[in-house]
Amino acid sequence: MTIDPHDPTVTTALAQQTIELPSWAFGNSGTRFKVFATPGTPRDPFEKLEDAAQVHRYTGVTPRVSLHIPWDKVDDYAALAAHARGLGVALGVINCNLFQDDDYKFGSLTHADARVRAKAVAHHAECVDIMRATGSKELKLWLPDGLNYPGQGDLRARQDWLAESLAAIYALLDEDMTLLIEYKFFEPAFYATDIPDWGTALLHCLDLGPRAKVVLDTGHHAPGTNIEFIVMQLLRRGRLGAFDFNSRFYADDDLMVGAADPFQLFRIMSEIVAVGALAPDSGVNFMLDQCHNLEPKIQGQIRSVMNVQEATAKALLVDRAALAAAQAAGDVLAAHGLVMDAFATDVRGLLADLRVTRGLPPDPLAAFRASGYEARMAEARVGGTQMSWGA
């Protein structure tokens, strides 16, 4: 396929694209067996923001950073927000935590004990207060609650408790705030997860109201799931609130987005592009949710952003008019060929040229590696406690 680098349909859409970064990606992470330390890892949320700002400096498309509470708790959130602004970024989605408190061993929002459910709701009230202090407009809820064994709990009762808890959380929000509900196929529960799929998440959102939307994490599905179909359905109902982009080989691997199946990422972005949901005012927030166990953290985030940009550029190159004509004519091979031609197109030159026109380096990863930032931080950030899961 021939690329026209001056096509405003493509270049304008790419120039407007933004991707939100996760603060936790810049702390130490690992597996269930080991969390690995890296020289220069941030020791507090302020240093996390400094690292996140490097990604935006070199890519130009990551102006927001998600926080996780309590991992990113500070005494003064207004000061944290001001620090972010001084670095050229802003604080984005506030993520709650329902999986690291002993009271939540048998559930949080779905616990049989009303005291525990009330405690979990109160945590969200704390998060809403943080949203007001930081200027965030989105609260993200991932629920780890579930059962490991048949008979361990009452499936229907847990859904009723969940509905009550979610209604209490939704009532906490200001009128310009949105509740994002994330689903996950399994883990840490193995027999029955209380929000296991997009249908369950959507049903609860529909019950709550228009400011409740679904988060789609690309790693939270059974093997073989047609994720782009889910994207399409949620967009049809106006209930796709956000993506958590990552990549998986087996389950919730949290690898760099596009690493395992770039064609899947392209197909997802094709559904987004087809209905104009890439626009900044679409109401869909594009976010990364990854951890970098082996690779350097800032570099891993930059590479991930580039992967999303490449998939988006290819999706924008699909000839929609020709595709619609081939579909209407029942020309299977022509329709499939149009999609495959766009996916096979090398868009790296287009993106490099676009970056240069915006005053950015054509290769963000190479430019960052040459900057010496990582070596400077390894020398400067000596002493203290590095941030990691749970800290």
pTM to 2 decimal places: 0.96
Q: How many other CB atoms are there within 10 angstroms of residue 348's CB atom?
A: 14
- In a domain, residue 284? The reply is yes
Q: Assign 195 to helix, strand or coil.
A: coil
- In a domain, residue 386? The reply is no
- In a domain, residue 111? The reply is yes
- In a domain, residue 221? The reply is yes
The count of domains in the chain is: 1
Where residue 7 falls among pLDDT bands split at 50, 70, 90?
Answer: confident
Q: Rounded to the nearest 5°, which phi and psi values hold at 307? A: -65, -40
- In a domain, residue 390? The reply is no
Q: What is the pLDDT of residues 296-320, one digit of tens each?
A: 999 999 999 999 999 999 999 999 9
Q: CA of 360: how far to CAs of 68, 106, 124, 305, 339, in Å?
A: 29, 49, 39, 14, 30
- In a domain, residue 42? The reply is yes
- In a domain, residue 180? The reply is yes
Structure tokens at 85: 């602004």
Over 80: is that where the pLDDT of 5 sits?
no
Give me the pLDDT at residue 390, please.
62
Pairing of strands 64-68, 21-22: parallel
CA–CA dist 215, 231 (Å, integer): 10
Q: What is the pLDDT of residues 138-197, one digit of tens each?
A: 999 999 999 999 999 999 999 999 999 999 999 999 999 999 999 999 999 999 999 999
- In a domain, residue 253? The reply is yes
41 touches 374 (CB < 8 A): no
For residue 292, what are the domain limits?
18-380
Query: Amino acid identity of 354?
Result: L
Neighbouring residues of 158: CB distance < 8 A, sequence distance ≥ 6: 107, 110, 145, 147, 194
CA–CA dist 350, 165 (Å, integer): 48
211 touches 170 (CB < 8 A): yes
Q: CA of 248: how far to CAs of 34, 195, 223, 298, 364, in Å?
A: 19, 20, 10, 20, 24
Residue 200, domain CATH = 3.20.20.150
Percent of the residues in the chain that have a pLDDT greater than 90, as a whole number = 94
